[in-house]
Amino acid sequence: MRIGVISDTHNLVRPEALDALRNCAHIIHAGDICKHGVLDALASLAPLTVVRGNNDVGDDVVRLPEHARIELGGATIHVVHDIADVPKQLDGIDVVVTGHSHKPLVERRGGVLFVNPGSAGPRRFKLPITLALLDIVHVRLEAHIVTLVT
Q: What is the pLDDT of residue 150?
A: 80
What are the tens digits of pLDDT across the range 97-116? 999 999 999 999 989 999 99
pLDDT of 119 higher than 80: yes
What residues does each domain of the chain span? 2-149
Taking 90 as the threshold, does the pLDDT of residue 83 lie above it? Answer: yes
Q: What is the pLDDT of residue 125?
A: 86
Instruction: Write the burial class of residue 11 (CB in 10 Å: 0-12 exposed, 13-18 middle, 19+ buried).
Output: middle
State the pLDDT at residue 138.
84
The answer on pLDDT for 85 being more than 80 is: yes
Contact 98, 81 (CB under 8 A): yes
> Mean pLDDT of all residues in the chain?
96
CA distance 31 to 50: 7
pTM of the model: 0.97
Residue 139 has pLDDT above 80, yes or no: no
Asked whether the predicted pLDDT for residue 86 surpasses 90, the reply is yes
Nearest C-alpha neighbor of 14 from the set 126, 143, 98, 119: 119
Question: With pLDDT > 70 as the criterion, what percentage of the chain qualifies?
Answer: 100
Question: What's the helix, strand, coil split of the chain in %, to 5?
Answer: 10, 40, 50
Q: What angle do CA 117, 122, 123 make, to 5 degrees?
A: 80
pLDDT 10s digits, 16-37: 999 999 999 999 999 999 999 9
CATH superfamily assigned to domain 2-149: Metallo-dependent phosphatases (3.60.21.10)
Question: What is the distance between the alpha carbons of residues 46 and 49, in angstroms, rounded to a whole number?
Answer: 10
DSSP 84: G
The C-alpha R_g of the chain, in whole angstroms, comes to 14
